[in-house]
Amino acid sequence: MMDIFNILISESFWAASLRISTPLIFGVLGALLCEKSGVLNLGIEGIFVAGAMSGWLAVWLGAGLLGGVMVAALTGALFGLIHAILTIPLGLSQHVSGLGVTLFATSISYFIYRTALPNVTSPPRIEPFRPIDLPIISDLPFFGPVFGQQTAMTWLALLMVLVVWYVLYRTPLGTAIQAVGDNPNSVDAQGLSVYALRVGAVVAGSSLMALGGAFLTMSAFDAFFFGMVNGRGWICIALVIFASWRPGKALLGALLFGAFDALQVRLQTEVGSFVPGQVFLMAPYLLSIVALIVAARRADYPRALLVPWFKGER
């Protein structure tokens, strides 16, 4: 017990939690934005891969870190647009289209990586984002080491929580996005375009997802390799339900998952000798399932989620 306690009060544990949470924060915000407008985006897993690969490749080709982030966001927007066109004006099944986007984005990313670098055995490295030393915060006792070790992308993720919250709840655009996810006819009757709002939300949400992927190759690691996304996208889909489609709770859910994951790694080394390591690997997923069961009963689904809408049919 003492071991766990010591881990929980250690600075490195919380710094790691925040780092592990970062891609999830991007992903869960992106998924939340899509779903608030009424569109489930199961392309998220593939968009993570595409964001990770394209952002890294851009930097490797010399675009610079900022350029890499932009390329990743654009790549996400592009795959989001494919999903949006298939599901919104064409009204295809959001499940099928989303899974299709995941398969397509994943394989084309691998394909481009292989074509661009046909003869490498070990993945080439880039110079990733460095931790930012913030003047006052770094000197604080506990918070300094926790927040002083984070890169610009983690700060961007935290900023995006505020931005998404503000847009959704404090601007006319956000009101319209919430309305289109609840009853598209309400938006149509007020003279706004259901299609434009939904396509916009899905494209923007997909960009955020791609940034989650880009964090992996440009901040957490410094290279791209196959299978590195490893289900993070799917976790985000579950976290949105856990968060009951609220940005603040989404941040909380992502942090919680990140903390479980960080704890798991440490427990493996501490008590790993008599409990198989796989048990700890499972822990974050098991705990997120339990959290979902508790939270999902009260979940406040957008009423028009998954329901296609066609102009003129009422």
Q: Applying CB under 8 A, which residues contact another protein?
A: 170-173, 175-176, 178-183, 185-192, 300, 302-303, 312, 314
Closest to 197 (Cα-Cα) out of 172, 177, 216, 223: 177
Nearer to another protein by Cβ, of 62 and 313: the residue is 313
Q: In the bound complex, what is the minimum distance in angstroms from residue 305's beta carbon to another protein? A: 12
Q: In the bound complex, what is the minimum distance in angstroms from residue 201's beta carbon to another protein? A: 12
Nearer to another protein by Cβ, of 137 and 307: the residue is 307
131: β partners: 151
CB 43 within 8 A of CB 98: yes
Q: In the bound complex, what is the minimum distance in angstroms from residue 204's beta carbon to another protein? A: 13
Nearer to another protein by Cβ, of 53 and 168: the residue is 168
Nearer to another protein by Cβ, of 287 and 306: the residue is 306
| DSSP state for residue 300 in the 8-state scheme | -
CB 83 within 8 A of CB 206: yes
How many DSSP H helices and E strands does the chain contain? 13, 0
**What's phi and psi for 121, nearest 5 deg?**
-100, -50
Q: In the bound complex, what is the minimum distance in angstroms from residue 159's beta carbon to another protein? A: 16
Q: In the bound complex, what is the minimum distance in angstroms from residue 299's beta carbon to another protein? A: 13
Give the CA radius of gyration of the chain. 20
Residue 259, amino acid: A
Q: What is the DSSP string of 130-169?
A: PBP--TTGGGSTTHHHHHHT-BHHHHHHHHHHHHHHHHHH
Q: In the bound complex, what is the minimum distance in angstroms from residue 30's beta carbon to another protein? A: 20
Nearer to another protein by Cβ, of 51 and 181: the residue is 181
Nearer to another protein by Cβ, of 196 and 286: the residue is 196
Question: Can you say whether the dihedral through the CA atoms of 82, 85, 90, 93 is positive or negative?
Answer: positive
Q: In the bound complex, what is the minimum distance in angstroms from residue 79's beta carbon to another protein? A: 24
CB 51 within 8 A of CB 212: yes
Nearer to another protein by Cβ, of 45 and 188: the residue is 188
